[in-house]
Amino acid sequence: MVLSGKSWVDTGAQFIHGASDANPVYSLLKQHNLLSELVTEEGSELFLNDKGSKVDTEFANRMYEAGEEIIWRKHEGLIGKSLGEHFAEESQQLIQKWGSPEEEQHKILSILHLVGKNYFCNMGDDLNVEGKMFMLKDKLLEDLPKDRLLLNRPVSKVYWEGSFRNEEGHQFPVCLLCENGEQILADHVVVTVSVGYLKTAASTFFDPPLPQEKLEAVEKLGFGCLNKIFLEYEEAFWESDISSISLVWEGETPADLSSSTTRWIKSLQHFTVMRPKETFGNVLIGWCSGNVAEHVETLTEQELTAPTTSVFSGNPSIPVPKRVLRTQWQSKKFIQGTYTYIPPGIDAKIMDKLAEPLSSSKKPSVVLFAGEGTIKELYGTVQGALLSGHREAERLAQHYGRAVSTTAACSLPDQEN
């Protein structure tokens, strides 16, 4: 996506979760010299209340950290509850434990409310590699023979129990029928479509249909939505060292974590400042998730601009952004959301079921499954998607008695639950 014809923005992944040499995406970026060009600038956080005034940064950061601690120890007492419900309960207990005066309680809860809205990923340090993920994709594509790569071929059906003959008379167990009528014959197919897509298409996409336990896995897994709203300003209204702006809604508490669409602006998590300014200009990214993210996809540019600007309206000199863009991951037919998640009460091992290959009556592993939703240790991440692909490549290599050398040598982290 391009803003003002000069800077591009990432519509999808932009962080390496757990940035270290053990992370295969980090290693690949490093190997392709994409990390050396990265400009990382430490910045400060700005907390603004809904009247446009600054909230004391030291106080806000202290409360925010207290909230984060609740999230990090979430596994205690999280049985059968959503993280949001657990967080709301623990926040109340924290306030009672501190015995804070009533007017301070409101302030504390409104900061904790911010924590509850945010997305957390406990995989180690996050590295913002804005713009580099899709450069990496282009670099990786250079290694693929161009005549082997077919893009823009939506598949409408995977036939996997057949004997399909090509012009040379070779027989194949798999036939992919594309939406344009083209047929692609294969010995094996690795299906990497999203869990979101499978939720609507799984029952008709495969012939023969998927086994019941796989359909159940698709049904039971959650597929959430995260959208970004890019606001581009003529001039920055924030100081040059600011890296994020959080809006503190006074009077809101973690228990107010509703996903009411009429209050969508209150559900924005925070705004990230795209840095450095020389590369990106004056751009903020607003983050939203869940029902609110879906609602944001339906709004017009005008409907997006007016309230996002008015939340900063304590300062009348703040102009309207000159451009607004937002992602629409839920509406994309071939994704239908963003991340797989594990709903309360569902065992993560269900992802192993989704990952199991299908064998036809004549040949093993004719349909293999990869993608972030098939890897319980790293779902929701680019490295998870990558390693799930390596896992299936390795499966096929073993089947044919070949050695593989991939970054799959990177070990998976231990699963906490």
Ligand X SMILES: Cc1cc2nc3c(=O)[nH]c(=O)nc-3n(C[C@H](O)[C@H](O)[C@H](O)COP(=O)(O)OP(=O)(O)OC[C@H]3O[C@@H](n4cnc5c(N)ncnc54)[C@H](O)[C@@H]3O)c2cc1C
* Residues near ligand X, by CB under 6 A: 12-15, 17, 154-155, 192-194, 197, 226, 228, 327, 329, 334-335, 338-339, 371-372, 380-382, 385
Handedness of CA 292, 343, 196, 194 (dihedral sign): positive
In terms of CB distance, is 226 or 265 closer to ligand X? 226
Minimum CB distance to ligand X, residue 149 (Å): 13
The answer to whether the beta carbons of residues 376 and 391 sit under 8 Å apart is no
In terms of CB distance, is 189 or 245 closer to ligand X? 189
In terms of CB distance, is 194 or 253 closer to ligand X? 194
Produce one character per residue of 133-172: b if its CB has 16 or more CB atoms within 10 Å, e if not.
beebeebeeeeeeeeeeeeeeebebbbbbbebeeeeeeeb
Amino acid present at 110:
S
In terms of CB distance, is 2 or 403 closer to ligand X? 2
Query: What secondary structure does DSSP assign to 92-125, as a single string?
Result: HHHHHHHT--HHHHHHHHHHHHHHHHS----SS-
In terms of CB distance, is 110 or 338 closer to ligand X? 338
In terms of CB distance, is 253 or 272 closer to ligand X? 272
In terms of CB distance, is 98 or 334 closer to ligand X? 334
Measured distance CA(85)–CA(338) in Å, rounded: 22
Residue whose pair of structure tokens reads 């197919």 in the numeric block: 189
Measured distance CA(255)–CA(105) in Å, rounded: 14
Measured distance CA(179)–CA(167) in Å, rounded: 21
The answer to whether the beta carbons of residues 369 and 354 sit under 8 Å apart is yes
Measured distance CA(328)–CA(295) in Å, rounded: 10
In terms of CB distance, is 23 or 49 closer to ligand X? 23
Minimum CB distance to ligand X, residue 235 (Å): 27
Would you state the structure tokens that stand for residue 320, as one six-digit string?
């309207």
Q: Is 4 left (phi over 0), alpha (psi -120 to 50) or beta?
A: left
In terms of CB distance, is 254 or 389 closer to ligand X? 389
Minimum CB distance to ligand X, residue 84 (Å): 20
Produce one character per residue of 22-57: b if its CB has 16 or more CB atoms within 10 Å, e if not.
ebbbbbbbeebebbeeeeeeebeebbbbbeeeebee
Measured distance CA(15)–CA(132) in Å, rounded: 10
